[in-house]
Amino acid sequence: MQEKLLGSNLGGMTENRTTPDAQLPDARSIHRLLGGRWADLREEFTEQVRRLDFPATEDLSTAQQRAVTLGLLEQVAATGAPRVGFDPAYGGGGDHGASVAIMEVLAQADLSLMVKSGVQWGLFGGAIAALGTDRHLGRYLDPMMKAELLGCFAMTETGHGSDVQRIRTTATFDPATDELVVHSPDPSARKDYIGNAAEHGRMAVVFAQLVVDGRSHGPHAVLVPIRDENGEAAAGVTISDCGRKAGLNGVDNGRLMFDQVRVPRVALLNRYGDIDQSGAYSSPIASSSRRFFTMLGTLVKGRVSVAGCAAAATRKALTIAVRYGDTRRQFASAGTAEESLLLDYPAYQRTLLPALARSYALHFAQEQLLVDMDRILHAGDIGEAVDEVAQRELETRAAGLKAVGTWHASATVAACREACGGAGYLAANQISQLKSDLDVFTTFEGANTVLLQQAGKGLLTHYRQQIGDLDPIGMVSAVAEQILSQVWERTAGVLIQRTRTLGNRESELAATRDHRWQVALFADRADRLLHTLAARIQAASKEGVSPGEIADRTQNHLLRAARAHVERVVLETFVATINGVTDPAVKSLLVQVCDLHALSEIERDASWFLENGRMSGAQSKAVRDSVDQLCAELRPHAGLLVDAFGIPQEWITAPIVAVG
């Protein structure tokens, strides 16, 4: 099957390029590398999804699009693939990484289908699996996996989308009837933007403040039927429709209000907090705040999935735009008759190729995240002791990569649209749909700015632990200054070493392509931003500035530090991946891709490196010139680099790049 798949996906796409060089890798080799640990599964599932019937939806009403997407969801369920991430004891495949990998395949095919699948199997099913116990798993997992029981994940409220710890829905235990009473006390407590709620969901995992015997134990999840067998709203449940959205109109987002809705006590998803038959609350985690964040931590898969799916859809947009630029001609040079290909223009290369390189970089970071997530979740499954440091690092990385990756997705797809001109604006050419569908990825599963802040706070905590178990505010103390000067010395060393090699333009350009130099710059920037952040916090704290005011004053700094950390991780992962590649042709091409990625990022933030004496003006100019040079060098291989994404031809329906 694999040969067949690769033959049909990857063949025939090279006609617009120069004759393949003997030293060039073929798209298959790179495609297998990109597939990573779950390469076989990805290819197998891709084959299954290719057999689904995707009707054109571009001019359908919202109601029609929802019906189409529901039909596709049921076809996906019929493949059995959604079982892959669930507990084998209940008919699942027990493979967490695989469950994200199949979502990434769906994202290449249809983002409404991917999001509805994510709601059903990732959020709804995932919450039952992670927060429930045998009494829920035994009853609900099978119909959920089969999509016979469609459900919602009802966390976000109208008044609380980011600060979900402060949701206002309550679930109050009534010992008289052994029930939980789920209630929305005011309009701001309305559950909002809930996928599957407007039409198809029968049940919802509702997050509510759990109140037992007059005392609140913080947010817990409760299974609440929201519709009866006939699809009518259940008693006490008011459902409304979010209506038309910018995109993803195949997903029925809605709103839920609960008026004293009663469910049995055992509807509580009770892995991290339970009420026993006597009506007593108990939890393995004493702090209600820590308990809630532990629950959220088990749901990390959703965030990882969103990042991976945004990346997959971005690769599709890049495939279209690069192929268009490789066939579309406009303007002739003075004195020549034939018009030039768009991709031969340096400005066009600048628009697409650094974004293409960054997509490669983010992909390898995502694959590593997936492998690590899989390991940690699997360790939990088999009852190993939780490695809290690894767990927190995973959450920090997932939050950071989700933010940085979905911003990249939005920016890249917008650039692809513009690169394809008026053709890019037509629905038939797919990019506009990708753009409007992807737009909300920067918001859902955590607004990017909030996530990046969380990642930054995670780094500060880690930093504190390295320095010693001090108070987070007072963590810097005398030690910090010492570290700061060490960093300065290290950097100065790197700079000087580089500077020595600089003489003429050629050696300056060559020097920018030293991965050790790039990694040192990235690492130093991340360190330095974190150290100075900690120092500012400490200084303000010593002056008696309130924590709120400190947070405000350092918010932009915190975001920069978090972003610098993510960039460091991405580059380090890319370099490590390249080091593991044995095929010299693949390796050599990826080295150029990695250079373009790293130098584009250095260029983007050149002012920081210059301000802080990390680069000279001449180096900064050399970086810019190297980006131009790398664009020109990679231009002949741009088609190969998108072919290697291996997106099936039938999912690239855009007439502007139609084959044959």
Taking the complex as a whole, the smallest distance from the CB of residue 606 to a second copy amounts, in Å, to 4
* Distance separating alpha carbons of residues 140 and 237, to the nearest angstrom: 21
- Tell me which of 424, 456, 639, 646 binds a second copy, using CB under 8 A: 424
C-alpha 501/C-alpha 626 separation (Å) is 16
**Contact between 486 and a second copy per CB under 8 A:** no
Q: Is 304 exposed, middle or buried (0-12, 13-18, 19+ CB in 10 A)?
A: buried
- Taking CB under 8 A as the criterion, the residue among 233, 379, 414, 591 binding a second copy is 414
Q: How far is the CB of 617 from a second copy (least distance, A)?
A: 4
CA dihedral 483, 485, 486, 489 (to 10 degrees): 160
Q: How far is the CB of 545 from a second copy (least distance, A)?
A: 12
Q: Measured between alpha carbons, how far is 648 from 11 in angstroms, rounded to an integer?
A: 11
Task: Confirm if 553 and 526 have CB atoms less than 8 A apart.
Answer: no
Q: 426-485: which residues touch a second copy (CB under 8 A)?
A: 426-428, 432-433, 435-436, 439-440, 442-444, 447-449, 453
Q: Nearer to a second copy by C-beta: 176 or 334?
A: 334
Binding of a second copy at residue 18 (CB under 8 A)?
Answer: no
Query: First-to-last CA distance in the chain?
Result: 23
DSSP state of 385: P
* Binding residues among 53-92 for a second copy as defined by CB under 8 A: 58-59, 61-62
Q: Which of 559, 569, 593, 642 binds a second copy (CB under 8 A)?
A: 559
Part in contact with a second copy (CB under 8 A); list of ranges 134-142, 461-469, 537-545, 613-621? 613-621
289 touches a second copy by CB under 8 A = no
Three-state DSSP at 547 gives: helix
Least distance (Å) between residue 632 CB and a second copy: 9
Looking at 4, 244, 290, 516, which residue binds a second copy (CB under 8 A)? 244
Choices 116-124, 338-346, 366-374, 527-535; region in contact with a second copy by CB under 8 A: 338-346
Min separation Cβ 189 and a second copy, Å: 14
CB of 522 to a second copy, least distance (A): 17
Residue 656: enclosing H or E segment and its boundaries? none
What is the separation of C-alpha 526 from the centre of its chain, rounded to a whole number of angstroms?
21
Among 485, 552, 576, 658, the residue binding a second copy under the rule CB under 8 A is 552
- The burial of 396, by beta-carbon neighbours within 10 Å (0-12 exposed, 13-18 middle, 19 or more buried), is given as buried
Judged by CB under 8 A, the chain residues 181 through 240 that form the site for a second copy are 192-193
List the x/- string, 615-634, binding to a second copy by CB under 8 A. --x--xx------x------
Question: Is residue 612 close enough to count as binding a second copy by CB under 8 A?
Answer: yes
Closest contact distance (angstroms) between CB of 160 and a second copy is 7
Closest CA to 226 of 153, 174, 169: 153
- Considering the rule CB under 8 A, would residue 246 count as an interface residue with a second copy? yes
Residue 371 beta carbon to a second copy: minimum distance, rounded to whole angstroms = 30
Q: How many CB atoms lie within 10 A of CB 565?
A: 27
Residue 499 CA to its chain's centroid (Å): 38
DSSP state of 176: T
The site that binds a second copy (CB under 8 A) totals a number of residues, namely 81
The Cα–Cα gap between 99 and 97 comes to: 5
What tokens appear for 135 in the block? 């009494």
Between residue 297 and residue 336, which ones bind a second copy under the rule CB under 8 A? 329-336
Q: Is 117 in the site for a second copy (CB under 8 A)?
A: no
Of 259, 339, 471, 481, the one binding a second copy by CB under 8 A: 339
Residues 6+ apart with CB under 8 A from 155: 164, 167, 191, 207
To a second copy, the closest distance from the beta carbon of 289 in angstroms equals 12
Give the C-alpha separation, 303 to 445, whole Å.
Answer: 6
Interface segment toward a second copy; rule CB under 8 A; list 168-176, 391-399, 420-428, 455-463:
420-428
Q: Which of 214, 383, 422, 544 binds a second copy (CB under 8 A)?
A: 422
Nearer of residues 133 and 449 to a second copy, judged by Cβ: 449
**Smallest gap, in angstroms, from Cβ of residue 659 to a second copy?**
17
Listed ranges 94-102, 291-299, 410-418, 588-596: which one lies at the site for a second copy (CB under 8 A)? 410-418
Site string for a second copy, 341-360 (x = CB under 8 A): ---xxxxx-xx---------
Residues within window 568-607 making contact with a second copy, judged by CB under 8 A:
603, 606-607
Sign of the Cα pseudo-torsion (326, 332, 336, 337, in order): positive
The secondary structure element, H or E, covering residue 219 is: strand 215-225
For residue 153, what are the β-bridge partners? 205
Separation CA 99–CA 30 (nearest Å): 23
- Stretch 142-161 residues interacting with a second copy (CB under 8 A): 156, 159-161
Strands 339-341 and 329-332, how do they pair? antiparallel
Q: Which two tokens stand for residue 516?
A: 């050790």
Distances (CA, A) of 402 to 295, 450, 627: 19, 11, 26
